[in-house]
Amino acid sequence: MTEQGTDAALVRLQTGHNNMSQQQHPEINLDLEQVEDAGARSHGLDFPHTWLSDLIEKALELLSYVLNSIWIVLIVIIVSNVIMRYALNVNYIWIEEVQWHMYAVGFMFGIGYALMHDAHVRVDALAAGFRIRTRAWIELISIVAIILPMCWIIISYGIPFVEASYNRGERSSAPGGLANRWMIKSVIVLAFAYIGLAAFSRMLRVTALLFNFPRPKAAQ
């Protein structure tokens, strides 16, 4: 066999090997975002909707859109504070306290938002194997026995807490800190009212599944 013939045979052999490799290992395209979302929501509970739960959730969603702007403002404030501190050698205590307060507002209301969308942390090692009605009963007992009573206790004690702060004219103990400390303390009451409404909406959807009350909305 000539040298050219040998080279041609090697090329054909390599081409055949590549084709066989492609056939044995076909290309797979995965949407990683969808895979991650499916894994995170694989044990989520999608209960039927009711007209009242949808009404509550729409109101809470509208409030959430307003509160989400806090994160944008917070980023701007943090960047501005860093620039003033390291570039201009200027530091204001009240700006740092505004950062803490805004973070607290976003975090506190975010708890209710996560509860409403069933996006909070779950330990599903056991519950993942339960039937949906069993998990619904666990959800109902958790809401009625833990979440709603906790919200009621914190709100009932939080209102006098805020009133006392307002009547004393409480302000930050730091020099140059913020006044009207009652405003950030009132976030505790408002956030747990938000959480309570989110839990109540969730409870309506659970009872719609378990007892057909309130009557579930027709699937669209």
One-character DSSP codes across 90-158: ---HHHHHHHHHHHHHHHHHHHHHHHHTT-S----TTGGGS-HHHHHHHHHHHIIIIIHHHHHHHHHHH
pLDDT of residue 29: 63
- pLDDT band for position 35 (cuts 50, 70, 90): very low
pLDDT of 1 higher than 80 = no
pLDDT of residue 120: 76
**Residue 215 φ/ψ region, left for φ over 0, alpha for ψ in the -120 to 50 degree band, beta for the rest:** beta
pLDDT of residue 3: 47
Per residue in 7-24, pLDDT (tens digit) is: 455 445 555 555 555 555
Average pLDDT over residues 65-73: 91
Distance CA 153, CA 160 (A): 12
- pLDDT band for position 33 (cuts 50, 70, 90): low
Phi, psi of 96 (to 5 degrees): -65, -40
Average pLDDT over residues 191-206: 97
Distance CA 27, CA 23 (A): 9
Distance CA 168, CA 215 (A): 49
Distance CA 69, CA 74 (A): 9
Tokens 């003033």 found at: 84
Average pLDDT over residues 165-182: 93
Mean pLDDT, all residues of the chain: 84
* Low-confidence winner among 36-40, 173-177, 211-215 (lowest mean pLDDT): 36-40
Distance CA 83, CA 213 (A): 56
**Nearest CA-CA partner of 52 in 193, 207, 191:** 207
**Nearest CA-CA partner of 176 in 101, 97, 73, 102:** 97
Average pLDDT over residues 178-189: 95
Q: For residue 56, how far is the Cα from the chain centroid?
A: 18
pLDDT of residue 22: 53
Please indicate whether residue 85 or residue 6 has the higher confidence score (pLDDT). Answer: 85
Average pLDDT over residues 205-212: 95
% the chain with pLDDT above 70:
78
**Nearest CA-CA partner of 160 in 128, 186, 183, 140:** 186
CA angle 49, 53, 58 (to 5 degrees): 105
Report the 10 Å Cβ neighbour count for 91: 12
Whether omega before 26 lies within 30 degrees of 0, making that bond cis, reads no
Average pLDDT over residues 37-60: 79
- pLDDT band for position 176 (cuts 50, 70, 90): confident
